[in-house]
Amino acid sequence: MQEEPGSSRTLPGVELTILMPCLNEAKTVGQCVRAAVDYLQRSGTSGEVVVADNGSTDGSREIAEAAGARVVAVPQRGYGAALLGGIAAAQGRYVIMGDADCSYDFTSLDGFVERLRSGAPLVMGNRFRGGIEDGAMPFLHRYLGNPVLSFIGRLFFRTDIGDFHCGIRGFHRDSVAALGLVSTGMEFASEMVAKAALAGFPIAEVPTRLRPDGRDRPPHLRTWRDGWRHLKFLLLFCPRWLFLYPGGLLLLGGLLGLGALQQPWAPEGGHELRIHSMLYMAGAMVLGVQLLQLAVLTKWVGVLSGIVPPPAWLRRAERFLSIEVGLVAGIGLVLAGLVWSVGLVQRWGARASDPCLRPRACGLPFPPSP
């Protein structure tokens, strides 16, 4: 009998929930459930097998129940939605999730359980360390998508996870539930690791072997669409690499460039170089300020939507993020710009009044640089 996903609590007698998202996996889900049940019995672990069914129409639910699983119906479509529903219904203290397509061996979960029992809130599988069998992962995923996205994840979130998108992972149910995961698509995998890293969770890894899946249909994963969604969420979680750092460099470079061009050693004769350089420096400053604003706004929108946990600096600065403070700061910047502009006009006027700087008086073919 199917259950609706709810807010079931961890039961004292259930240590481990083995969770599988499922959408039309009739060919493989029974084998996966039997392997998971066999592991629980062989290892002596008190646990359950839960299949979060995402609307299967091929008999997957009945097959999973017959093999010994508790089936939870999750009407909302999506990989993340199915897992969120399954996590909400899980009764174990620990949860190990994995795909129901026979690509992972549910009879070899000892490494995950040991690290969970030792206190690691999140335990990731690593397919690159455990081995990838021939035909188990598409060429683009193996040599471009996963390595690039995992490198970006390590860079953005200061973690040493080698495989950000491994489909099998274990976690403390209550710890992950407290992260406030909201993604309903494939990017759920990135959100879990990113939020765990931002929350300061110790993350362990277990070498995991990836086998060719047993499906007789195309996978639900779409290479370019889901790859972009993963990258988009990584950038949303950590906008400093997309906006903050480039904006800061542009602003600093523009300020230094304008300062250098105002000094006495700035070239007088090379007026075209000097004027054009000043325009470029001013443009760099404007673009830099806009990128800094986008960095703050992206972070703020992520926090308001619940996707990104509020960082410490944002909590400290929250009292300054008001319309009144923004109005005062804006007026101050406008006044500073006006004062600077008046100073520049006075300087140009003083230089223009010098007879030697007038082209006809000095016989120059072109007007000198102001």
Same domain, 39 and 103: yes
> Are residues 251 and 137 part of one domain?
no
Among 237, 270, 286, identify where a domain stops. Answer: 237
Domain co-membership, 214 together with 261: no
Q: What pTM does this model have?
A: 0.69
Share of the chain above pLDDT 90, in %: 35
- Mean of all residue pLDDT scores within the chain: 82
Q: Does pLDDT of 358 surpass 70? A: no
Q: How many whole angstroms from its chain centre is CA 346?
A: 51
Domain count of the chain? 3
176 and 228 belong to one structural domain: yes
Question: Could you tell me what percent of the chain has a pLDDT over 70?
Answer: 81
For residue 28, the domain's CATH number is: 3.90.550.10
Residue 245 tokens, joined: 């750092």
Instruction: Provide the 8-state DSSP code for 118.
Output: T
Note whether 258 and 280 are same-domain residues: yes
Both 176 and 52 in one domain: the answer is: yes
Q: What is the pLDDT of residues 158-179, one digit of tens each?
A: 888 888 888 899 999 999 988 8
Range in 2-6, 170-174, 195-199, 304-308 the model is least confident about: 2-6
Q: Does 243 lie in the same domain as 231? A: no
* Same domain? 73 vs 202: yes
Same domain, 266 and 300: yes
Instruction: Give the separation between CA 33 and CA 70, rounded to whole angstroms.
Output: 10
Q: For residue 339, what are its two tokens?
A: 């004062």
Please, which residues bridge with residue 212 across strands?
none
pLDDT band at 355 (very low <50, low <70, confident <90, very high): low
Q: What is the end-to-end Cα distance of the chain in Å, rounded? A: 84
Does any domain span residue 152? yes
Residues 328 and 354 in one domain: yes
- In which domain, by residue range, is 272 found? 239-305
Last residue of a domain, one of 221, 237, 253: 237
> Is residue 5 situated within a structural domain?
no
Please check whether residue 317 lies inside any domain of the structure. no
